[in-house]
Amino acid sequence: MAQRGYIGTEHPKLEDLDRCTRCGLCEQACPTYRLLKFEPDSPRGRIFLMKEVAEGRVGVNANLAQHLYACLGCRACETACPSGVEFGKLLELGRHQVELHGDISPERRGWRLFRAFAFERILPNPWLFHVLMFPARLLQALPGLLACAQSLPLPHKLRQLVRMIPRANRSRDQREVDAQGEVDRYSSGVISARGKQRARVGLFVGCVMGSLFSHVHRATIRVLTRNGCEVVVVPGQWCCGALNLHAGERKRAAAMARSNIAAFNRERLDAIVVNSAGCGATMKEYADLLDGDSESVIFSGKVKDAGEFLSELGLLSKPQRLKTTGTYQDACHLAHGQRVRKQPRALLAQIPGLTLVEMPHPDQCCGAAGVYNLTHGDLSGKILAEKLDEIALTKAELVVTTNPGCAMQLQAGLMERHMNVRVCHLMELLDESYSIRP
């Protein structure tokens, strides 16, 4: 029989679980409860299961594991909760305990093998990560071949993966600016502000963003420098550790956090700009992961989402007319995790000619959630279908988002439905508008 209660000190604490008054106001905000209509797949149900263990009535078991891993970690329940329950942190700690307890069921074994390979071997190793990403990057560098591969009738899973590879077309103007040298050496260096310098910022490059979204990094640098920021790409930075943390893998997540903190704290920076919502949310919470260590507090205090930072700094350079209709998809880790909603919309409102049509539920998860679309394909597909229905209602030509996972999930879903809607990052759209000659 499994040992009752949790192991060690890193586990959901009773006082945090007790903040839940069981009011149920979060239930309808929860995508898994909405679809499954089963209490253990709701935030309240998951808190109840974690509390049973915290009270020592049962041990960490397969039932707890199943319902914690069926959660998207979208944190919509945090926004809905009037009692301030920090569900995201409880979930991370609960999953950490599941992982500490080893192979608690045959179904967990496959996951643990995947986890050991993906999160313990590949993610902490930039070299190995880039080698594995090479085929996707090669396709991305050959847009014609990528478009062809994405229209092939491949088996479902493979088709989904190929359709997730971001299309990264640069306009002639953007290529000309990049060819001047400054942006193309973004992988490590200092890119000067255009005109009078207003701030000195560090750009967080990350793993998936650095590998498959280098076009978004280039766009972010062009937008930042145009608005008076000197951009520093510090050497020695790597993956933020979010995927490890969400998979209950705290030890490596903490090591990755420490190495990023050391890399960025070597520079004098006004802000650390992050253009991936999931990474930004994790980096703003490094201090929690590292027990309030003073360096991590300074670091986390400087982390800003790119849209949040630019909106607060104020645009110096006026965007040009971009005649199109768009809709904005709130990334969960930006809206619910960082409470950043108004700032990206404020930037979009400054693009002349852009008509922004809101979806009925723009801050509802798209089903990507890290590797959820791989581990819970059916549920992820149903959640995505709701999102695509809402996008169709807006009749938008483009969906603007701020997270790589959402961008890939939405692009694959839109292709599958033959919807002619482009997915782009907020920084790409601003950059596009800047590249238009007045």
By CB under 6 A, name the binding residues for ligand SF4. Answer: 20-26, 29-32, 43-44, 46-47, 71-77, 80-81, 83, 85, 87
- Cα–Cα distance for residue pair 388/265, rounded to 1 Å: 41
CB of 247 or CB of 354, closer to ligand SF4: 247
- Type and span of the H or E element at 304: strand 303-305
CB-based burial, 350-368: b 16+ in 10 Å, e otherwise: ebeebebeebeebbbbbbb
CB of residue 24 to ligand SF4, shortest distance in Å: 5
Q: In what order do the strands lie in the sheet with 303-305?
A: 189-191, 229-233, 199-203, 271-274, 303-305
CB of residue 372 to ligand SF4, shortest distance in Å: 9
CB of 34 or CB of 417, closer to ligand SF4: 34
What phi, psi does 399 have (nearest 5°)?
-110, 125
- Type and span of the H or E element at 231: strand 229-233
**Hey, what are 232's tokens?**
């520093």
CB of residue 180 to ligand SF4, shortest distance in Å: 44
CB of 369 or CB of 398, closer to ligand SF4: 369
CB of 32 or CB of 227, closer to ligand SF4: 32
Q: In what order do the strands lie in the sheet with 354-356?
A: 354-356, 324-328, 398-401, 422-425
Amino acid at 433: S
CB of residue 156 to ligand SF4, shortest distance in Å: 24
Amino acid at 434: Y
CB of residue 184 to ligand SF4, shortest distance in Å: 39
User: Do 414 and 391 form a contact (C-beta atoms < 8 A)?
Assistant: yes
CB of 47 or CB of 123, closer to ligand SF4: 47
CB of residue 299 to ligand SF4, shortest distance in Å: 25
Question: Residue 50: which of 90, 99, 104 has the closest Cα?
Answer: 90
CB of residue 42 to ligand SF4, shortest distance in Å: 6
**Rounded to the nearest 5 degrees, what angle is found at the Cα of 313, between the Cα atoms of 305 and 76?**
30
CB of residue 151 to ligand SF4, shortest distance in Å: 33
Max CA separation in the chain (angstroms)? 72
CB of residue 389 to ligand SF4, shortest distance in Å: 19
- Cα–Cα distance for residue pair 359/396, rounded to 1 Å: 10
- Cα–Cα distance for residue pair 433/233, rounded to 1 Å: 24
CB of residue 207 to ligand SF4, shortest distance in Å: 23
Question: Residue 368: which of 340, 388, 345 has the closest Cα?
Answer: 388
Cα 227 to Cα 11, 44, 72, 305, 422, distances in angstroms: 44, 45, 36, 16, 26
CB of 292 or CB of 360, closer to ligand SF4: 360
CB of residue 35 to ligand SF4, shortest distance in Å: 10
CB of 38 or CB of 134, closer to ligand SF4: 38
CB of 72 or CB of 306, closer to ligand SF4: 72
Taking only Cα atoms into account, the Rg of the chain, rounded to an integer number of angstroms, comes to 21
Q: Where are the beta strands (DSSP E) in 320-421?
A: 324-328, 354-356, 398-401
Torsion, Cα of 186, 188, 192, 193 (10° steps)? 60
CB of 47 or CB of 223, closer to ligand SF4: 47
CB of 95 or CB of 163, closer to ligand SF4: 95
Name the one residue in this structure whose structure tokens are 């759209």.
Answer: 429
Q: Is the dihedral of CA 273, 238, 159, 74 positive or negative?
A: negative
CB of 81 or CB of 406, closer to ligand SF4: 81
**Hey, what are 418's tokens?**
């033959």
